[in-house]
Amino acid sequence: MMSLALRTPEAFDPAPPNPAPEAPRLLVAEPCLGLEEKAALAEVIDGGWITMGERVRAFERAFADAHETEDAVAVSSCTAGLHLIMHALGLGPGDEVLVPSLTFVATANCVLYVGATPVFVDIASSDLPLMSLEDAEAKCTARTRAVILVHFAGYLVDPEPWRAFAAKHGLVLIEDAAHAAGLPGAGTLGAAAAFSFYGNKNMTTAEGGMVVARDPALREAVRQARGHGLTTGTFQRLNSRTPTYDVTMLGFNYRMDEMRAAVGLVQLSHLPEWNETRRALTRLYRSLLRAECPEVSLPFEDGRPSVHHIMPVLLPASADRQAVIDALAERGIQTTIHYPPAHRLSFYRAHQSGITLPATEAFAARELTLPLHPRMNQHDVRRVVTALREALVA
């Protein structure tokens, strides 16, 4: 999956209507990595300093500038970022945090890391698979302290209704922005947000993440806690020639290294172009699917702000999803599912039995994620839609 061969996106180049028999396998996600990343890595290796240093700091500042925030904190993963945010906010035992079930399990797991309780909330509808404000209202209690909003598939959660909800109940808003790198408005809805640079994201450092926070004190608490709670880092002690440090808080080993930061700086420079390619490919997908697969439903209305991280569709209720997955796989097209509802996973069923989220469960039963990434072109999208149409009539 982590191929180093760089292919320039050709989303709108003319292409034959049918794929050649030797067409390469289409993956759901594929990183864009090439000579620039190789050169950036070589420069770090040649420089000899590979742990958290100048490149990490440069990456933090560049990411903050790109997202119109004052500063950012690079971490080892989005999961680490969410954990650090909740730790810095003082969430803990006895507290409840509202989370969507239609998300990767890490969103809920991070609540458990600080000893709090995740309370699963339904989505608004299959057309709008984002957390339901109505269900959140119904599940808010005297113990509720925070809400984690997920920009599912790269689509922005509506800010104002959630800000009003948080103000009404005295809650903290946290954004799980794993799908939302480069999305205008992401990272500004509430107290803090965590972004992901995992290998399938819109930009990648293989593993890694970033935290943004409005309050400088919260941001600096996250910064210190990512490195064991030390008052100074290794690079700072090297430059100051002062080998001593103190530990003033409980901390973790959630740092980012120089190699990942170097790759991140390159990736960030291409993110606007890649996100625009994703937007164009999604627009073509939606047009072709409406014309050729009208029985397939398309979540989200046209025009909702998005960086189009994934391409989710809903198969007809009568379709055998596994048969469709198998048919596309035989044509060299990978698909996947986003997501198995977190509340239905064995771990959470054992700890929180009896939860029913009708809209989430209905969406998850029919959802299929189609390939979408900047290495694709117009021909690839047509190939997927044709294969899906034929699979549904088989």
**Model confidence pLDDT, tens digit, residues 101-130:** 999 999 999 999 999 999 999 999 999 999
Q: What is the predicted pLDDT for the residue at 232?
A: 74
262 pLDDT more than 60 = yes
Q: What is the predicted pLDDT for the residue at 237?
A: 47
Q: What is the predicted pLDDT for the residue at 187?
A: 97
Q: Which residues, other chains included, contact 280 with Cβ-Cβ below 8 Å and sequence gap of 6+?
A: 11, 12
pLDDT (average), residues 278-298: 98
14 pLDDT more than 80 = no
Boundaries of CATH 3.90.1150.10 in the chain? 271-393
Q: Using 50, 70 and 90 to split pLDDT, how confident is the model at 132? A: very high
Q: What is the predicted pLDDT for the residue at 293?
A: 98
Report helix, strand or coil for 241.
coil
5 pLDDT more than 90 = no
d(CA 121, CA 148) in angstroms, rounded, equals 10
Structure tokens at 341: 């509802």
The answer to whether 272 touches 127, Cβ cutoff 8 Å, is no
Q: Using 50, 70 and 90 to split pLDDT, how confident is the model at 330? A: very high
Q: Which residue has the tokens 């771990």?
A: 347
What DSSP character marks residue 190?
A: S
3 pLDDT more than 50 = no
pLDDT (average), residues 207-213: 98
Q: Using 50, 70 and 90 to split pLDDT, how confident is the model at 231? A: confident
d(CA 286, CA 291) in angstroms, rounded, equals 9
d(CA 48, CA 39) in angstroms, rounded, equals 14
d(CA 200, CA 278) in angstroms, rounded, equals 13
- In the chain, DSSP assigns E strands to 73-75, 96-100, 117-121, 144-150, 172-177, 192-196, 209-213, 311-314, 367-370
d(CA 150, CA 196) in angstroms, rounded, equals 12
Boundaries of CATH 3.40.640.10 in the chain? 36-264
Q: Which residues are part of the catalytic machinery?
A: 201
Q: Using 50, 70 and 90 to split pLDDT, how confident is the model at 23? A: confident
Fold (CATH) for 271-393: Aspartate Aminotransferase, domain 1 (3.90.1150)
Q: What is the predicted pLDDT for the residue at 243?
A: 74
pLDDT (average), residues 241-256: 89
Q: What is the predicted pLDDT for the residue at 233?
A: 61
Q: What is the predicted pLDDT for the residue at 244?
A: 76
Mean pLDDT of the chain: 93
pTM of the model: 0.92
Q: What is the predicted pLDDT for the residue at 301?
A: 95
12 pLDDT more than 90 = no
d(CA 351, CA 117) in angstroms, rounded, equals 10
1 pLDDT more than 80 = no
- In this predicted model, what pLDDT tens digit does every residue of 36-69 receive, in sequence order? 999 999 999 999 999 999 999 999 999 999 999 9
Fold (CATH) for 36-264: Aspartate Aminotransferase; domain 2 (3.40.640)
- In this predicted model, what pLDDT tens digit does every residue of 338-383 receive, in sequence order? 999 999 999 999 999 999 999 999 999 999 999 999 999 999 999 9
The answer to whether 234 touches 97, Cβ cutoff 8 Å, is no
The answer to whether 3 touches 24, Cβ cutoff 8 Å, is no
Q: What is the predicted pLDDT for the residue at 275?
A: 98
